[in-house]
Amino acid sequence: MRYYPILILFLLTLAGCPNPNANSTTTLIRDRDEYSANAYKYKPYYQKSNLSNYSNSNAAQATAGKSMGNVIVVVDPGHGGKDPGTRSATGVQEKKVVLNIALHLRDILSSRGARVIMTRSNDAYISLDRRADIAEEANADLLVSIHADYVSNKSISGATVLVGKTASSQSKAAAVAVDRALNDAGIATRATRAQGLRVCQGHSRPAILVETGFMSNTTEALRLVNPWYQKKVATAIADGLTNYFR
Ligand SMILES: [Zn+2]
């Protein structure tokens, strides 16, 4: 097709979380196969995926304080240290935004009875393999990786919940539950999608990756750096997980 190379370039720009300042082999969250020509061929970015087939029938929004028993959740704030992730128009780094959201998520999940293990709780650089190992070693019931998105088209906004290409039905159900809870909280979402994600596929445990919004969209970036909104996003994710584990 005549415009195929242009289409591929466009799709590559939608891949999110680019980090122009660091070595690509250590900063890519997604597997190399994500960048293959077929990565988005059958799953257009603007189309909700069919992961909703995995939704639970009783996915009503959880009430705060609901116990999560002895569930083990690995909370994984993306990037960190020498890897800043993407950057908002105002210069705020993704690694800082997602750490704040993740720390709120840790606190909320802990208050509901979950055992939470952080892959990082400060500005540390942690390799993707190490993050995966932490989930495996903890025998985690779920790994939740927190990120913020970037795309060259600054008009695009919304959260996206992702699972790995080889995701289990548990991972997909968790993604759908979080997507639904974000919507219930009034946070617009773009999709629940499966794609190559090393942090989700590099271990045997259920895992999701939440792109909490687009740093490239000025309005959304301003929300994402707002402490109140960071807590709102964390609460919605926690509500989704509470529903999933219920
Ligand atoms: Zn990221």
CATH number for 209: 3.40.630.40
Q: Ligand 1 center to residue 93 CA distance, Å?
A: 10
- Domain-embedded: residue 152: yes
Determine if the pTM surpasses 0.95.
Answer: no
> Per-residue DSSP letters for 45-104?
TTS--GGGGG--S--PPPPTT---TT-EEEEEE--BTTB---B-TT--BHHHHHHHHHHH
Q: Which has the closest alpha carbon to 201: 156, 171, 245? A: 171
Structure tokens at 211: 């792109």
Print pLDDT tens along the chain (246 aa). Answer: 454 544 444 443 444 444 433 333 322 333 323 322 233 322 333 334 545 545 443 333 444 444 688 899 999 999 999 999 999 988 999 999 999 999 999 999 999 999 999 999 999 999 999 999 999 999 999 999 999 999 999 999 999 999 999 999 999 999 999 999 999 999 999 979 999 999 999 999 999 999 999 999 999 999 999 999 999 999 999 999 999 998
Q: Which domain holds residue 195?
A: 42-55+67-245
Q: What is the pLDDT of residue 70?
A: 84
Residues 6+ apart with CB under 8 A from 104: 230, 231, 233, 234, 235
Q: What is the pLDDT of residue 69?
A: 85
- Domain-embedded: residue 32: no
Q: Ligand 1 center to residue 198 CA distance, Å?
A: 12
CB 117 within 8 A of CB 73: yes
In angstroms, the CA 124 to CA 131 distance is 12
Q: Ligand 1 center to residue 4 CA distance, Å?
A: 27
Q: What is the pLDDT of residue 31?
A: 35
- Domain-embedded: residue 117: yes
Helix, coil or strand: residue 155: coil
Q: Ligand 1 center to residue 52 CA distance, Å?
A: 24
Q: Ligand 1 center to residue 56 CA distance, Å?
A: 28
Q: What is the pLDDT of residue 51?
A: 56
Q: What is the pLDDT of residue 67?
A: 62
**How many folded domains does the chain comprise?**
1
- Domain-embedded: residue 79: yes
- Domain-embedded: residue 226: yes
- Domain-embedded: residue 92: yes
CB 74 within 8 A of CB 134: yes
Helix, coil or strand: residue 154: coil
In angstroms, the CA 183 to CA 195 distance is 22
Residues 6+ apart with CB under 8 A from 151: 13, 14, 16, 214, 216
Residue 163: strand pairing partners = 194
- Domain-embedded: residue 74: yes
Pairing of strands 189-195, 142-149: unpaired
Count Cβ atoms below 10 Å from residue 72 Cβ, excluding itself: 17
- Domain-embedded: residue 61: no
Provide the CA 231 distance to its chain's centre, in angstroms. 15
Q: Ligand 1 center to residue 15 CA distance, Å?
A: 10
